[in-house]
Copies of this chain bind each other. A is one copy, B any other.
Amino acid sequence: MKKCLALSGGVGGAKLALGLSKILAPEELTVIANTGDDFTHLGLDICPDLDTVMYTLAEVSNRELGWGQAGETWNFLEALSRLGGETWFRLGDRDLATHIARTSKRRQGASLSDTTRELCGSLGIEYPLAPMTDDDVKTIVHTDNDQTLSFQHYFVRDRCEPRVTGFHFEGIENAAPSLTFIAALEDPELALIVICPSNPFVSVDPILELPGVMDRIGSTPMVAVSPIVGGQAIKGPAAKMMNELGMPQTATAVAEHYVQKYGCALTGFFVDTEDAPLQADIQALGLETIVTNTVMVTLQDRIDLAQQIMDFANRL
């Protein structure tokens, strides 16, 4: 059995995770989600990436919004607004159930991994989905006015408007990968690690920079799917960040970022057909470069990309 470990941020990663789940059995796939952008808001523990992956795998995600649950309503938020509460973070009525159930379980002593397992079980998800860590790691965004912002304040409240100069992951030096993450990394049958098309700086880096992760990856083949297509991010601020960090807004620059940081393990890089002209440049970085459709609009797109990735793994 060839086992696969998918590392995911939010929407883009969740789409590929769903595709992988359609062609792999539950014992062949583990999905680990970034928790660097988790935060406590209105007293509730909120895990945006973990929830996006969970809702996507449970097929209850809101496709129009790209976050939250399908058929969402907003009466809580409307009432909170009347009470003068903070409404910049859009908590839907259904979505609230997740945050309240999770916060309640965690206050009673359950770990984030435990609560995630329970929530996934209730939603009928058969695939192991776990947070990257059960410890507190907070993605902090540095901005050009020498300020720092917590990720959700940067991302949602300030709509990614501040110019970024860098990032750090508060608490990461004392954080351990979750037990599910460690078990997947140490599984002798692990054949492939997939870096999903997520934001390299704020979704993927926190996962791979956790102490002990790269050591455990060792020589396990790792592939990445570019989140940048034709110079744009499919979703989110990755391209804007690259520009502000002085990087070209290209799939090549994403590949360079990964090679510099995680070079020895990275084997293959998937770019969209639109970026076919970049293939030679990326090959020159020492990466086998696969040109295919990486823009996942339909479920079949997700499955096709997942299949291409597993075909690549089988050729190794």
Contact = CB atoms under 8 A, between A and B. Distances in A.
B42 A100 contact: yes
A93 interface: yes
A107 interface: yes
Contact of A79 (B44, B77, B97): B97
Residue of A42, A93, A103 with highest tally of chain B CB at under 10 A: A93
A316 interface: no
Copies in the complex: 2
Given A43-B43, A94-B78, A85 B73 contact: no
Interface residues of A, number: 32
A94 to B, nearest CB: 4
B73 A94 contact: no
A48 to B, nearest CB: 17
A76 B69 CA distance: 11
Contacts of A96: 76, 79, 93, 96
What 6 pairs across the A-B complex have the smallest Cβ distances? A79-B97, A79-B94, A75-B93, A80-B97, A93-B93, A43-B104
Given A85-B100, A96-B96, 11 more contacts: A43-B107, A72-B75, A73-B93, A79-B94, A80-B100, A80-B101, A82-B97, A83-B98, A85-B97, A85-B101, A93-B93
